[in-house]
């Protein structure tokens, strides 16, 4: 984020110098969290996942909004992300989705009261040996994601070994679902059954950790049995669905818009090559507008000649190769388009809307990648709700 402590600018105070920016509707994020919470039991806690700068929306602003809307936990991927939240005055418990692997990391997470993930006895011993007081940890169990975590068959033994270590308290037990967004539930059910079996065994032995969690956004929308004590919500709180078949479960509102300004307009004759490599040539007398945004801002070069933008509420075609800082659009049919006009790349302008799904289809990727590759040099402009 461009302003102090990553708070973002309010929309009504946007500096006129902005060439391109991201608008974040905090009201939409609040709406999404409230809507998702209606699916849960009152006792089920809500963890707001704000890693990768809140999926490109601005971590501090999102975290504050989420907590005010009923979230009780936050989650980050790096220690630096946790530090940012603490320095902004956020006091909620924060889960770190990864282990501490050196003494300096252990000291820092203790200083900033972050709860790390532990996947092995060696990792737990490292925390214990630091002798920095009781460190709250979450034991990660691999039930089929094969990324982080102790094998589910070995988790009981590991938990028992960790419980006798000084300076370490197992506050949580969790796993991650690999295919919860798929139509076929087979793998998700298999993972759930493995995890549930482990949890039941630990309960019978009287060593079940106080907080057990499994559900991500997709599972929260489809598998109530996976809720346990807490759900971890990332993409859905930002108003996007992990998969198109989940759109009927709850009404979500996209929170992010991407905008830039027209900085130059000119008319060229037929047969004119446009931008690097002349990947587009005009077929008729064409009015072109240069837009002040490019792949250096996160607008993938692979989108070149394949997407629409919005100008004055109308769709126009992006033409030519997208360059690092600029790209071009054909505004022949928008005669009033001029320098200074706002161009919407993602979001709504009047009755028209460009959805992230259009970019997903063109790039053959997922919304997560598009959101998190929007450059930090794009200021985040908050709207819809004041940032406290």
CB-neighbour burial class of residue 283 (10 A; exposed 0-12, middle 13-18, buried 19+): exposed
pLDDT score of 386: 44
Q: How many residues does this entry show for the chain?
A: 388
Tokens of 237: 């709180």
pLDDT score of 100: 95
Class of domain 256-354: mainly beta
41 is catalytic: no
Which stretches of 182-224 are assigned E, i.e. beta strand?
211-213
Annotation: CATH topology of 26-238: TIM Barrel (3.20.20)
For 164, list phi and psi in degrees, rounded to 5.
Answer: -90, -5
Spatial contact of 203 and 157, defined as CB atoms under 8 Å apart:
no
CA distance 118 to 303: 40
Range(s) of the chain covered by CATH 3.20.20.10: 26-238
Which stretches of 195-279 are assigned E, i.e. beta strand?
211-213, 230-233, 256-268, 273-274
pLDDT score of 18: 85
- Sign of the Cα torsion 76, 156, 170, 233 reads positive
CA distance 362 to 378: 22
**H or E element: which one contains 221?**
helix 217-222
Catalytic residue among 41, 51, 112, 364, which?
Answer: 51
368 is catalytic: no
Tokens of 145: 């994601």
**H or E element: which one contains 85?**
helix 79-87
**H or E element: which one contains 21?**
strand 20-25
pLDDT score of 387: 43
- Sign of the Cα torsion 85, 69, 230, 146 reads negative
Spatial contact of 309 and 326, defined as CB atoms under 8 Å apart:
no
CA distance 290 to 21: 16
Instruction: Confirm or deny that 147 is annotated as ligand binding.
Output: yes
Question: Which pTM value belongs to this model?
Answer: 0.93
Catalytic residue among 241, 276, 295, 364, which?
Answer: 276
Q: How do the pLDDT tens digits run along the chain, 388 residues long?
A: 333 334 444 544 555 568 999 999 999 999 999 999 999 999 999 999 999 999 999 999 999 999 999 999 999 999 999 999 999 999 999 999 999 999 999 999 999 999 999 999 999 999 999 999 999 999 999 999 999 999 999 999 999 999 999 999 999 999 999 999 999 999 999 999 999 999 999 999 999 999 999 999 999 999 999 999 999 999 999 999 999 999 999 999 999 999 999 999 999 999 999 999 999 999 999 999 999 999 999 999 999 999 999 999 999 999 999 999 999 999 999 999 999 999 999 999 999 999 999 999 999 999 999 999 999 999 999 987 644 4
Range(s) of the chain covered by CATH 2.40.37.10: 256-354
pLDDT score of 6: 40
Instruction: Confirm or deny that 145 is annotated as ligand binding.
Output: no
């Amino acid at each position: 984020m461009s302003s102090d402590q990553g708070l973002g600018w309010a929309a009504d105070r946007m500096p006129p110098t902005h060439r391109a920016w991201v608008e974040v509707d905090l009201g939409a994020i609040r709406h999404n969290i409230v809507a998702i919470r209606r699916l849960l039991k009152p006792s089920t806690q809500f963890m707001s996942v704000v890693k990768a700068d809140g999926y490109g929306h601005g971590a501090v602003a999102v975290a504050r909004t989420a907590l005010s809307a009923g979230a009780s936990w936050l989650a980050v991927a790096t220690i630096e992300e946790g530090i940012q939240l603490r320095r902004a005055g956020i006091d909620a418990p924060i889960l770190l989705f990864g282990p501490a692997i050196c003494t300096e990391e252990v000291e820092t997470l203790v200083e900033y009261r972050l709860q790390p993930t532990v996947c092995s006895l060696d990792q737990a011993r490292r925390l214990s040996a630091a002798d920095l007081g009781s460190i709250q940890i979450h034991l990660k169990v691999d039930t089929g994601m094969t990324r982080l975590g102790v094998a589910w068959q070995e988790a009981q033994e590991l938990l028992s070994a960790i419980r006798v270590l000084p300076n370490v308290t197992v506050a949580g037990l969790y796993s991650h679902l690999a295919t919860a967004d798929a139509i076929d539930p087979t793998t998700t059910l298999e993972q759930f059954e493995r995890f549930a079996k482990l949890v039941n065994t630990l309960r019978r032995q009287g060593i079940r950790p106080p907080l057990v969690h499994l559900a991500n956004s997709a599972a929260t929308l489809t598998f109530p049995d996976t809720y346990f004590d807490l759900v971890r919500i990332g993409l859905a709180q930002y108003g996007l669905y992990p998969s198109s078949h989940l759109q009927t479960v709850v009404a979500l509102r996209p929170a992010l818009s991407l905008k830039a300004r027209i900085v130059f307009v000119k008319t060229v004759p037929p047969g004119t090559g446009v931008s690097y490599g002349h990947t587009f040539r005009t077929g008729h007398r064409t009015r072109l507008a240069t837009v002040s945004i490019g792949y250096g801002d996160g607008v993938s070069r692979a989108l070149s000649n394949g997407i629409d933008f919005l100008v004055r509420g109308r769709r126009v075609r992006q033409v030519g190769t997208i360059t690092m800082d600029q790209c071009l659009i054909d505004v022949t049919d928008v005669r009033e388009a001029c320098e200074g006009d706002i161009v919407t790349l993602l979001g709504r302008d009047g009755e028209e809307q460009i959805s992230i799904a259009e970019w997903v289809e063109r790039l053959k990727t997922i919304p997560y990648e598009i959101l998190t590759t929007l450059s930090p040099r794009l200021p985040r402009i908050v709207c819809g709700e004041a940032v406290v």
